[in-house]
Amino acid sequence: MIDKLLFWKKKKEISGDLLEEVQKHPVPRHIAIIMDGNGRWAKKRAMPRIAGHHEGTKVVQRITRIADKLGVEVLTLYAFSTENWKRPQGEVDYLMKLPEQMFSTFLPELIEKNVRVQTIGNFDKLPSHTQRAVQKAMDDTKHNTGLILNFALNYGSRDEMVQAVRKIAEECKENQLDANDINEETIASHLMTNKIEDPDLLIRTSGEIRISNFMLWQIAYSELWFTNVLWPDFTEEHLVQAIYDFQHRGRRFGGI
């Protein structure tokens, strides 16, 4: 409720339409979102948690469309964490079916819109039917040059770092790399995000003010934006509001 009021209040303060306003300034090149609150959205409606996840995938599609329209280069969506395996088996099973469900209707649109699907996370540990659906989306869009829609699937930042350190150690052992030459670039290039720029803007929905093992290295200088809105209630207007706020912050990167 407060979110909504603030949104409309802010909207009135600025001249013209908020969408037009944000299009006058550079938009964040990489937006990352911790999509949280599906379970609570369902609970509020006395529905099973999976109903919230189902609703959440509709929001994924709407937010992808608006990000594409605004010219965002990368949209990273935290869909399943390395810790989410702790959930009841039925919920995990349902979450693992969502990519098939969503891409069955959404993939043709992504292909048409020149969107490229990518993932970060421990892909090999996903059920094979999930891997197949996601791999097909990646294969069918691999030549697309527009928005990169990057799903963090079975992703954990600490797991990513462990794997990076292992690879770096291996390269040192094989004499491909001198330990004294290891720098920030070495580490960044061994992370799963590799060639993807760090997020400019990180959004988390549902009122939780924490990072939950998401892109710990990459968000060093990201602007953080939190909202109480639950992910299934998150709209295009909320994204535009987050971008508007981002555009009115002063990023200094340690300078003055």
Catalytic residues: 36, 84
Determine, following the binding rule CB under 6 A, whether residue 80 of this chain makes contact with ligand IPE.
yes
Distance CA 240, CA 126 (A): 33
Q: Mark residue 179 as left, alpha or beta (left: phi above 0; alpha: psi -120 to 50; beta: remaining).
A: alpha
User: Which single residue brings its beta carbon nearest to Mg ion?
Assistant: 36
**Could you say which of 4, 10, 129, 210 contacts ligand IPE (CB under 6 A)?**
210
Residue 126: phi, psi to the nearest 5?
-80, 155
Please choose, out of 10-18, 32-40, 102-110, 182-190, the segment that lies near ligand IPE by the rule CB under 6 A: 32-40
Determine, following the binding rule CB under 6 A, whether residue 36 of this chain makes contact with ligand IPE.
yes
What single string gives the DSSP state of each residue in 107-140?
A: HHHHHHTT-EEEEES-GGGS-HHHHHHHHHHHHH
> Minimal CA–CA distance to 249: which of 196, 202, 215, 198?
202
Determine, following the binding rule CB under 5 A, whether residue 36 of this chain makes contact with Mg ion.
yes
Contact (CB, 8 A) for 79 and 53: no
**Could you say which of 28, 37, 121, 199 contacts ligand IPE (CB under 6 A)?**
37
What 8-state DSSP symbol labels residue 30?
E
**Could you say which of 27, 32, 35, 110 contacts ligand IPE (CB under 6 A)?**
35
Determine, following the binding rule CB under 6 A, whether residue 199 of this chain makes contact with ligand IPE.
no
Q: Is 39 annotated as a binding residue?
A: yes
Q: Which of ligand IPE, Mg ion, none does 244 bind, CB closer than 5 to 8 A by kind?
A: none
Determine, following the binding rule CB under 6 A, whether residue 96 of this chain makes contact with ligand IPE.
no
Structure tokens at 241: 């509001």
Number of residues that bind ligand IPE (CB under 6 A): 18
- The residues binding Mg ion (CB under 5 A) are 36
Question: What are the binding residues for Mg(2+)?
Answer: 36, 223
